[in-house]
Structure 1
């Protein structure tokens, strides 16, 4: 019911702050080590910053550890596949690159659980149904991420995002949380087939 979802949203925000702060503090030593390694292997900046749409489509700055080399046209380093090093791949496969995103959770840009924040350019190509993913705060992990991550189609990911919006609850979030741990441990669906990460979304033909 809609009233139950609204009630849960009121409880979820303070829970996100508490859990986000706890994880931020606990992972600080790990983040320090990762930061040093990123600086040595990929150079500066250590953090990757990018504008992403959040609740209601409001744009915020997302923070992650850098996983790609700079574009170097002279050396032929242009595509994501060329720029993504084995070190960067390891960071992504273990989700260590996303530890700084806990700051976005504490700030209120994001939630621990919800549809993943995607590119701002996608806002103009979503169908009205797909755009419903922005009715809740984006999450560090979500229903789509524990159902295949980048290995599934965009349409299927968006269907799961909207399903989460309609069915969000404490029990669903708990299920997604523990499923995320399993997904990270077995490193499932990190990239789309034949891609270094995921193909760009340009709109659905049947949208």
Structure 2
């Protein structure tokens, strides 16, 4: 049921956001050199790696690490990068991963390939057996501001209490968190 829901919702969202995505792509291209999309290696179900796209919000020479590990994240942002990240519009290309079955709308956010501490803790708790999500329980409870152990605790809580109703609740809460940029590093 979750997979069918993901596909139906992804089609619906894609219809709504097609024009805005074209505008975002054009703005990314016009405001900074480099590709429109940034593809990163992410950890998926059973710790298998997959390529995850985002609208590029960082300069092309930015190291491939979690944002909070950068010395000065603001210097790495493109002219529209802060806006894309605050509004989570940079995440829209991940609908592609949802169509492919590499991601779901709700699940633990996929770790970067080099976030070894997060990967180890998730594996120890069995969280690695979940399909990663566009949003998740940890995202609506802190997002970028959460330390790794707290993120894993929330992911574990989701693992043991997941249901279709909880997923709908997380999606609903995500909408409001995105509207007020809750938990986004500025």
TM-score normalised by structure 1 residue count: 0.80
In structure 1, distance between residues paired with 2:126 and 2:114 = 16
Query: 1:81 Cα deviation (Å)?
Result: 3.2
| Other-structure match for 2:26 | 36
In structure 1, distance between residues paired with 2:106 and 2:175 = 13
Residue 171 of structure 2 aligns to a residue whose secondary structure is: helix
Aligned-CA RMSD value: 1.9
1:43-81, CA deviations, whole angstroms, 9 ceiling, x for partnerless residues? 220001011111111111101100011228xxxxx8533
| Other-structure match for 1:145 | 139
In structure 2, distance between residues paired with 1:109 and 1:41 = 30
The count of aligned residue pairs is 177
In structure 2, distance between residues paired with 1:85 and 1:120 = 23
Structure 1 residues 130 and 25: alpha-carbon distance in aligned structure 2, compared to 1, 3 A threshold: farther
Residue 38 of structure 1 aligns to a residue whose secondary structure is: helix
In structure 1, distance between residues paired with 2:145 and 2:114 = 21
In structure 2, distance between residues paired with 1:79 and 1:173 = 34
Question: Which has the greater radius of gyration?
Answer: 1
- Judge conservation of contact 1:52–1:120 (CA < 8 Å) in 2: yes
Query: 1:20 Cα deviation (Å)?
Result: 1.1
- Judge conservation of contact 2:45–2:131 (CA < 8 Å) in 1: yes
In structure 1, distance between residues paired with 2:98 and 2:26 = 23
In structure 2, the gaps of 5 or more residues are 63-70
Q: Report whether the alignment pairs 1:162 with 2:159.
A: no
Query: 1:121 Cα deviation (Å)?
Result: 2.0
Q: Which ranges of 4 or more aligned residues in structure 1 deviate by more than 4 Å? A: 128-131
Match of 2:99 among 81, 103, 106: 106
Match of 1:21 among 8, 11, 17: 11
In structure 1, the gaps of 5 or more residues are 1-10, 73-77, 197-207
Q: Report whether the alignment pairs 1:61 with 2:63.
A: no
Residue 54 of structure 2 aligns to a residue whose secondary structure is: strand
| Other-structure match for 2:41 | 51
Residue 36 of structure 1 aligns to a residue whose secondary structure is: helix
